[in-house]
Structure 1
Amino acid sequence: MNTPINGTDLIALGYAENAVLGIALRINRGRNGFTKEQMLANYAAVLAQPENYISDKIFSKLASAIIQKANEKPEDFITLNPEPNAFSAYGLEQIEEGALDQMRVAMKLPVTVAGALMPDAHQGYGLPIGGVLATKNAIIPYGVGVDIGCRMALSIYDIPEAFYTEHHDKFKRELVAHSKFGAGHGFHGPYKSDHAVLESPHFQTNALTKSLKDKAWSQLGSSGGGNHFVEFGIIEFEKEDTVLNIPKGKYVALLTHSGSRGFGATVAGHYTKLAKDVCKLPEVARNLAYLDMNSALGQEYWIAMNLAGDYASACHEIIHSKMKKALGATVLAKVENHHNFAWKEIWNGEEVIVHRKGATPAGKGVMGIIPGSMTAPGFLVRGKGEENAINSASHGAGRQMSRTKAIKSITKNEMKSILNHHGVTLIGASLDEAPMAYKDIHQVMAAQEDLVDVVAKLTPKMVRMADDGSRED
């Protein structure tokens, strides 16, 4: 078995933490028949004399990137503001320094108008997860995120809590029968679903969206990997909600969390690369490369992003429709909200592009769902329209432990014990999604009392997630 080469190994050879490092690591995936020692020797040789490897079958791309990086001049890059603009941060004591650093860089962009950081924030790529950024006439693909239009959808049924307890096995059968998970997974032949979104003319926008339509069709009505889930829970209204017209009481509810699957991920990767080509930012801000909304590329991405959002919504609609029919239930209310998206909104009297990467829209009266973990409660909320938060709130509890750390430090027995303690039936899921990997949802909610009002509490009872360690979040 080959010992892996990581970024630390390459940095020790003299590679900098930039795009060249990423190219070098990708070359190593196949190892190309070299031992670790031989591969490291090659890396050192290419770094020392890249001109000798321009035509090399394995190392030509790396050599070209090294030469290009060496020839870059400061005047080739867009200038960042010397100091970041101020931004609001909620639950500051719970937010890791890496996320704060990323937000400070985002606030130096010449197109930035305003920013805010939600209490579930943690470090991501470009804009931190939990970051909200308003820009002037510019859109940032990595400010939206990879899983474009990822969302929560909640159906509240006319089913009392006792019915769930008495028919636990039926709920389990229907959950398994009407959900499908994992990166790359989808439906085939007669099992494919149909939806009006597939007839959208925006699939014909360009060669990229045309090429993705078949994949979108096969994955329609399925869910991704990572933290995506379909769950049954008990939602409790401590008092009547006159807006939703739901009396006080406890009801069975279905909550789903997933996004635009392979379609959205491919769109994100494609336009992020193009943005980096046309928007030359310094290395520290490279993943915040933006597209001018007046440009053809900016408009292309805007159309593709909105199509991905519509597609993600369609996936949830199909799951909820199947489950409603299978249970023979009446839906008392349905609430849906999305993140990893950008909206045109008015800010201080001017139109801006508001990016919410892992943040929930929370304008005045806007409904949202903020989940905790597979054992912690989630909350149905109504936005207060707090301008300092750019009309936003958290999209969940947020990770307090990386996926790698969770897998290394949490045992299967520990995860099973906490599930049993909370009476939760789990189907699938890897250790990186264990409840202990997430922040305390109660602390997160306490940090955003100025942003949302709690309408009801949802307690998870049966959760299904991908069990292959795949991720699309």
Structure 2
Amino acid sequence: MGKFKISGKWLLGIGYPQGPAISVAMTVINMHYKYSSEAEVKVLLQQVLESPDQFLDHEYLDKVAVKLHKEEAPERKEAELLADAVPYHTYGASFIDEGTKKQMDSAMRLPVAVAGALMADAHQGYGLPIGGVLATENSIIPYGVGVDIGCRMCLSILDLPANVLDGQVEKFKKELGKNTVFGVGGELDIEKDDPVLERKEFMEIPFLRRLKDKAVAQLGTSGSGNHFVEWGLIDIVAADNEWNLAPGRYVALLSHSGSRGIGGQIASEYTRLARELCPLPSPVQHLAYLDLNSEAGQEYWLAMNLAGDYASACHHLIHKRLIRAVGGNLLARVENHHNFAWKEMYEGREVIVHRKGATPAGKGVLGIIPGSMTAPGFIVRGRGEEQSLSSASHGAGRQMSRSAAMKSITGHDMRNVLKEHGVTLIGGGLDEAPMAYKDINTVMAAQQELVDILGRFTPKIVRMADPGQSED
């Protein structure tokens, strides 16, 4: 198709009625006729519009014909949910609200549900709760992964003396502000040649091709909301650690962010497609799924993995710039996704494990579980507990919604808490105040059987998006 891109406006222009036929036609043409010319596509779609009944058995265009010929080809029927929810284990059940549990119960009634678990930091989200883990049979749920695909933790341990943060606060604060970009539409204007930008998916998948320029512009930047980059101190408490570091205190850099604008647009596009192909009852409509044997399912899988690798590349660029700026050298690094899906084995069969706000905790797998801007975070080693689907919490979890935090917490309250803990904050809003989060120590106590603690991170200088910025 060259530079020609099918759009809703273009379809209206050739006579297509306003309605679902337009979005379906856009998906089918961009997926199956990407090398056809505009003239060829126009002729083909006009033929379908004039005689939809002649295309009801077509390999690709049947989906468009169905939408144009509802009398003879009714809408797809909603998939029937299981009569009873598949049993799942809950960690920290005493401090998880009933709405979150009900949301998880609904997810466990999906016809493709195999197993699940609810982490101790869980709270309500869209579709699957934040802190929800869901294993499915050969299917992928875009909203089970989440909007911020590959949202990720990355911690770098440096060779700098531990007292440098106290002695050079202004320097570290300056470099943190200078070398990070946060928020909606944030871009970094430097030369970028990361291998992730040369991935074939950007050329082979039409939808991703349109996101390439955004990916280049936003590489090395951070999101808004609860995303951060911070300097702090890490206390290594395990002598048998994977990096052969002596137990003790080190300077560390910790970041939390995801796949930026491209992840959000991938999630939106493929959730729309999933809901078109897999109608579900209203309570679980956000959990529409794609069969992994289908072209759409395979395409989302590739796009998701690209977004995850892109998120990782963003963190690595941030860390590289900051470590160089303060004259440090890297001793060790720990990182992990916590909004992603993996192919894993469960009870002898392969399943797709969705972790929406949950840390992978397979046996021997390392990860980071942060607290808040004043609470400690932890380097953990997974114990591979099967009933948790080898998962752990991805943080402390919210105990107060953003709107509730804004109404009940004052700037004075927040400044006092920051001062009490010796934390310097750049940006950040009241919706991210430490008081809006659960007690991380309580959460960690509820999952002792899931992970072992190797190190404890204490935040010192925290950078977040400026108040008022929302997720991209």
Normalising by structure 1, what TM-score?
A: 0.83
- 3-state SS of 2:128 partner: coil
For residue 397 of structure 1, report the CA deviation from its aligned partner: 0.2
Instruction: Kindly report which structure 2 residues correspond to 1:278-317, keeping only aligned pairs within 5 A, or say none.
Output: 278-317=277-316
- Are 2:156 and 1:150 aligned? no
Mapping 1:14-25, distance limit 5 Å: none
Aligned counterparts, 1:368-379, within 5 A: 368-379=367-378
* Alpha-carbon distance in structure 2 between the residues aligned to 1:324 and 1:163: 13
Q: After alignment, is 241-250 or 78-87 more displaced?
A: 241-250
Distance 2:183 2:449 in 1: 36
Query: 1:168: Cα distance to partner?
Result: 1.1
1:208 corresponding residue in structure 2: 207
Q: Distance in 2 between matches of 1:375 and 1:314?
A: 27
SS of residue matched to 1:257: strand
Q: Which residue of 2 aligns with 1:13?
A: none
Q: Deviations over 1:240-266 (max 9, x none)?
A: 244221101101100000000000000
For residues 259-308 of structure 1, give each alpha carbon's deviation from its aligned partner in whole angstroms, at most 9, with x where no partner exists. 00000000000000110001011111101100000011001100000000
Aligned position for 1:462 = 461
Please tell me the residue identity of whatever aligns with 1:110.
P
Alignment-derived partner of residue 415 in structure 1: 414
Please tell me whether the aligned partners of residues 227 and 471 of structure 1 are also in contact (alpha carbons under 8 angstroms): no
Q: Distance in 2 between matches of 1:89 and 1:192?
A: 46
Q: By how many angstroms is 1:353 displaced?
A: 0.4
Structure 1 residue aligned with 2:439: 440
Once the two structures are TM-superposed, the CA of residue 183 in structure 1 deviates from its matched residue by 1.3
- Per-residue CA deviations over 1:327-363 (Å, capped at 9, x if unaligned) read 2212111001001100000111111000000000000
Q: Distance in 1 between matches of 2:349 and 2:369?
A: 29
C-alpha distance in 2 between matches for 1:314 and 1:365: 24
**Counterparts of 1:230-249 in structure 2 under 5 Å?**
230-249=229-248
Shift of 1:471: 3.1
Distance 1:263 1:433 in 2: 24
CA distance in 2, matches of 1:115, 1:356: 10
Residue 241 of structure 1 contacts residue 248 of structure 1 at CA under 8 Å; is this kept in 2?
Answer: no
Cα distance in 2 for residues equivalent to 1:75 and 1:217: 39
Once the two structures are overlaid, the 10-residue window that deviates more, 310-319 or 231-240, is 231-240
Does the aligned pair in 1 maintain the 2:133–2:389 contact within 8 Å?
Answer: yes
Looking at structure 2, the residues matched to 258 and 315 of structure 1 have their Cα atoms a distance apart, in angstroms, of 8
Q: Deviations over 1:430-459 (max 9, x none)?
A: 110000000000000000000000111001
1:334-345 matches, within 5 Å, as: 334-345=333-344
CA distance in 1 between partners of 2:229 and 2:370 (Å): 12
What is the alpha-carbon distance in structure 1 between the residues aligned to residue 328 and residue 115 of structure 2?
Answer: 44
**Which amino acid letter does the alignment assign opposite residue 85 of structure 1?**
V
Letter in 1 for 2:220: G
Letter in 2 for 1:186: E
8 A Cα contact 1:125 1:287, kept in partner: yes
Q: Is the 8 A contact 2:76 2:279 kept in 1?
A: no
| Distance (whole Å) between structure 2 residues aligned to residue 410 and residue 300 of structure 1 | 44
Matches within 5 A, 1:92-107: 92-107=93-108
> What does 1:149-188 align with in structure 2 at a 5 Å threshold?
149-188=150-189
2:260 matched to which residue of 1? 261
Distance 1:79 1:239 in 2: 49
Letter in 1 for 2:233: I
CA–CA distance in 2 between the matches of 1:160 and 1:312? 29
C-alpha displacement of 1:187: 2.1
2-structure distance, mates of 1:75, 1:83: 23
Residue deviations 1:135-174 (CA, integer Å, cap 9, x gap): 0000000000000000000000111221221111111111
Note if 1:327 corresponds to 2:335: no
Sequence identity percentage: 61
Partner of 2:138: 137
In 1, the alpha carbon distance for the partners of 2:241 and 2:275 equals 49
1:88 aligned partner = 89
1:132 positional shift: 0.3
SS of the aligned residue for 1:393 comes to strand
Instruction: State the distance in 1 between where 2:329 and 2:370 align.
Output: 23
Q: What is the letter of the counterpart of residue 313 of structure 2?
A: A
Equivalent position of 1:69 in the other structure: none
What secondary structure, in the 3-state scheme, does the structure 2 residue paired with 1:223 have? coil
- In structure 2, relative to structure 1, the CA distance for the partners of 1:249 and 1:326 (3 Å cut) is same
Aligned position for 1:113:
114
Report the Cα distance in structure 2 between the residues aligned to 1:168 and 1:175, rounded to whole angstroms.
Answer: 11
Cα contact 2:241–2:454 (8 A) shared by 1: no
Deviation at 1:239, TM superposition (A): 4.4
Give how far 1:74 is off: 11
Q: C-alpha distance in 2, partners of 1:94/1:155?
A: 32
Q: 1:423 to 1:347 in 2, by over 3 A?
A: same
Q: Check the 8 A contact 1:226/1:470 in 2, yes or no.
A: yes
Question: 2:206, 2:347 → 1: CA distance?
Answer: 38
User: CA contact under 8 A between 1:192 and 1:218: conserved in structure 2?
Assistant: no
Displacement of 1:395 in angstroms is 0.3
CA–CA distance in structure 2, aligned partners of residues 472 and 361 of structure 1: 24
Give 1:295's aligned amino acid: S
Cα distance in 2 for residues equivalent to 1:417 and 1:310:
39
Q: Is the 8 A contact 2:183 2:222 kept in 1?
A: yes
Query: Cα offset for 1:94?
Result: 1.1
State the distance in 1 between where 2:460 and 2:429 align.
18
Residue matched to 1:63 = none
One-letter amino acid of the structure 1 residue matched with residue 182 of structure 2: F
Deviations 1:184-227 (A, max 9, x none): 11123xx2433110000011132210010100110000000000
Who is 1:59 aligned against?
none
Q: What is the 5 A alignment of 1:194-205?
A: 194-205=193-204
**C-alpha spacing 1:396/1:208, structure 2 compared with 1 (3 Å):** same
Does the C-alpha gap of structure 1 residues 105 and 386 become closer, same or farther in structure 2, counting only changes over 3 Å?
A: same
Q: Distance in 1 between matches of 2:211 and 2:293?
A: 25
Q: How large is the Cα RMSD of the aligned pairs?
A: 1.5
SS at match of 1:333: strand
Letter in 1 for 2:148: D
Letter in 1 for 2:276: D
Tell me what 1:222 maps to. Answer: 221
Alpha-carbon separation, structure 1, partners of 2:304 and 2:238:
38
Inter-CA distance 325–102: structure 2 relative to 1 (3 Å threshold): same
| SS at structure 2 position matched to 1:159 | coil
